[in-house]
Each structure stands twice: as C-alpha cells, then as structure tokens.
Amino acid sequence: MNRRFPLRALGRAFGALRGGALRDARAATIVEFALILPVLCMMLLGTLDLGYRSYVSSVVQGALHDAARMATVGNVTTAQIQTYVQNKLQAFSRNATITTTTRSYSDYSGVSTPERITSDTAPVGVYNQGDCFEDANGNGTYDADRGRSGTGGSEDVVYFEVSMTYPQLIPVGRLFGWGSTVTTVQNTVLRNQPYGARNTAAPIICT
C-alpha cells in the first residue's frame, strides 16, 4: 500500500493542476471577451450607421431623379418641384431639413461656369471694372455662375440639387468624432424637352 500511495497522490495532484489550469483558461477567455466586446459593438454600430447613410443617399438620389424627370417635360414650377421632394423625403425622415436648388443653362458646357468675358482689360482673365461680359442669366451683373434660377425653358440644361440634413441614427457615432446630424447632397443635370420655342441670345454688358 505504501508503494501505491505516491501514485495516487500524484494522480490527485495532477488532476488538481489540470482543473486549475482549465479554470484559469476559462477566466482568461472571459477577460479577453470583455476587452474585445466594446470594440466589436462599436464596429457593428459604425457599420450599421454607414449602411444607413448609404441607404439615405440612395433615397435622396431617387427623389431627385423623379423630380428632375418631372420638370423636363415643362409646365412644372420650381415650387412644385420643391413640394414634391419635400413630401417624398419628409415621409422618410420627418425630422429632416431639406433644401432644393435649381439652375438652368443654355448648354451642358455652361453648367457652374462664369459668364463669358467678351472684352478683357488688365488684369487679363479676371473680371474687373471696364470689362464687357455676356449676361447669360439676364440679371445685369457679372456672375461666377452663369446659371438662371429655376427650371428654365425649352431645351435648357437644368442643374438640380437636393440637400438633406437628418439626425444621426446611432448616438454612439459621437465616439467616432461624428456630429449629431448627417448631411447628404445629391445632384443631377438634365436637358428639358423641346416643348416650345427657345431663345439663347444673351446681351453684352460693359462696365
């Protein structure tokens, strides 16, 4: 019996050591999971927020395209376009702030470009007193953007823009340095249908 005793004691000691090691491994796993869990949650919430932003952008783009196509056929005012976009997007987000912008041009090359200087004095290449310019929008002053407010006329090229500011979906986004609101801006350019006569003449004004 004396010879068996050391073997039994050794077996019990080994079992105790193995049980302790298993408990230590479980405890280490719990600690590691507790350290990783906040990071995983932040990554998940951030992914959800970015996905929602992408979805909102597609909704705004869809509303913009619908309104633009509606405007190209004529007999639609800027106010009607604004109302259409407002109604469609506010049904999606009631707390959103929505603004629309429409400018018309005679051709695609003129979109968001300054009015053409026809007689240039020094300094050349920059509009200054004494220059003559083509008053494309008919407002009597030189503009860095030749666009006319509104949807224009037959065959005019129209620039449409919709800006939507809405509350942040997940407040935890502030931990990433994001603000409490998100703004998405979408735009498109379409040519009106030839539904009437067109006049592209622009007066020359000298200052």
| Residues facing 103 on adjacent strands | 149, 159
Tokens 């002053």 belong to which residue? 141
Q: Are 72 and 104 in contact (CB under 8 A)?
A: no
Q: Are 162 and 63 in contact (CB under 8 A)?
A: yes
Task: Give residue 175's pLDDT.
Answer: 67
Residue 17 phi, psi dihedral angles, 5° rounding? -65, -40
Q: Between vectors from CA 197 to CA 191 and to CA 200, what angle results, nearest 5°?
A: 70
The answer to pTM > 0.85 is no
Q: Are 71 and 200 in contact (CB under 8 A)?
A: no
Task: Give residue 17's pLDDT.
Answer: 47
| Residues facing 184 on adjacent strands | 164
Which residues neighbour 65 within 8 Å (Cβ) at sequence distance 6 or greater? Answer: 188
Task: Give residue 27's pLDDT.
Answer: 61
Which H/E stretch holds residue 14? helix 4-72
Residue numbers in the chain where pLDDT is lower than 50: 1-2, 5, 10, 14, 17, 21-22
- Burial 79-98, CB ≥16 within 10 A → b, else e: eebbebbbebbeeebeebeb
Task: Give residue 47's pLDDT.
Answer: 84
